[in-house]
Amino acid sequence: MADTPRRSDRGLRLGLWLVPLLAIGGCVLAVMVASDLNLSILIPFWLAPLLLGAVATAGCAVALRQRQRLRRKLDDLGVRIQQEGDQARRRLLQRLDHELKNPLTVLQTVVSGSEHGVPDAESWASVATQTRRLSRLVGDLRGLAELEVAQLERIDVDLESLLRDVLDDTAEGTQGTDAEKRKISLHLPRAPWPLPLLKGDPDLLRLSLQNLLSNAIKYSQPGDSIEITAQELDGWVIIDIADTGRGIPDHEQELVLEELARGSNARDMPGSGIGLALVKVIVARHGGALILRSRDGHGTSVSVRLPLH
């Protein structure tokens, strides 16, 4: 596949040489065959292949120029994509270094202290906490990597039932108390018809919506509003989870979708920064898109667009 553009370029260059030669040869042949004809008939007869050759040559030249221009654009795009990938990889390594630094510091401190005596209960508690943190981080990263290549289940999913189940699971889970202190509302269409069934993996879709609702609860305050809406539009289902919480600074809104990334105003809350990256992968595996809008200090809206077909 990589040699196809080069072969096409060689073919166009060959055409730039062959077409005029063939045109000239056609003119000579026309003169030889039609030597007995009158000059008034002979002239347009031998001019025809020359004119056609000139037009074909000009067409080959234009096509070659456009081809070269397209190749330059593709090369520039490839370089830009590689640079962006390198930058994303460096950001991931920096965030990973930051996430590992504190747990490792605690473990090293306890190990160093144990050389002079048995660590106390508080030190062992710190070790246990940081060990659990590292375990969750490794598990989240492994799960994210596996999700990118895992085989998805494709069955009919009732999104209305799924959204109601997500609300019930949240109310019964560890965030149940916090959820009760927020004004959570669910808006689903009734007219002209309810939400259609969607082909997808119900477990992964549930996980993605749970992550988004969990973030809305985590980064909002008691009394804040959380609105969940869903609609069908032009062959897509759009699920939006919006809150009136702390929001995300403008320059960080694209970065928070990357692995281990968190907003600068979210460092006081527990978390590994995997949630939104996980949701993004799940939505992409379903052929959809994730759209995040936010205003620092006002709230955040995350829209999940999923294709119906």
pLDDT per residue as tens digits for the range 154-165: 999 999 999 999
User: What is the reported pLDDT for 262?
Assistant: 76
User: What is the reported pLDDT for 161?
Assistant: 94
Whole-model pTM: value is: 0.64
The larger pLDDT score, comparing residue 272 to residue 184, is at 184
Measured CA to CA, the distance from residue 16 to residue 18 in angstroms comes to: 6
pLDDT per residue as tens digits for the range 24-67: 666 555 555 555 545 455 455 555 665 666 666 677 677 777 87
Which residues on adjacent β-strands are paired with residue 236? Answer: 233, 307
Residue spans of alpha helices (H) in the chain: 4-33, 39-114, 121-147, 159-172, 176-180, 202-218, 275-285
The separation between CA 257 and the C-alpha centre of its own chain, rounded to angstroms, equals: 9
Give the architecture-level CATH label for domain 155-307: 2-Layer Sandwich (3.30)
Residue of 20, 23, 16 lying closest to 68 (CA atoms): 16
Per the prediction, the chain carries an average pLDDT of 78
Measured CA to CA, the distance from residue 172 to residue 208 in angstroms comes to: 18
Q: What is the mean pLDDT of residues 106-126?
A: 69
User: What is the reported pLDDT for 185?
Assistant: 95
For 15-81, give the DSSP string: HHHHHHHHHHHHHHHHHHHTTTS-HHHHHHHHHHHHHHHHHHHHHHHHHHHHHHHHHHHHHHHHHHH
pLDDT per residue as tens digits for the range 289-303: 999 999 999 999 999
The one-character DSSP state at 176 is: H
pLDDT band at 3 (very low <50, low <70, confident <90, very high): low
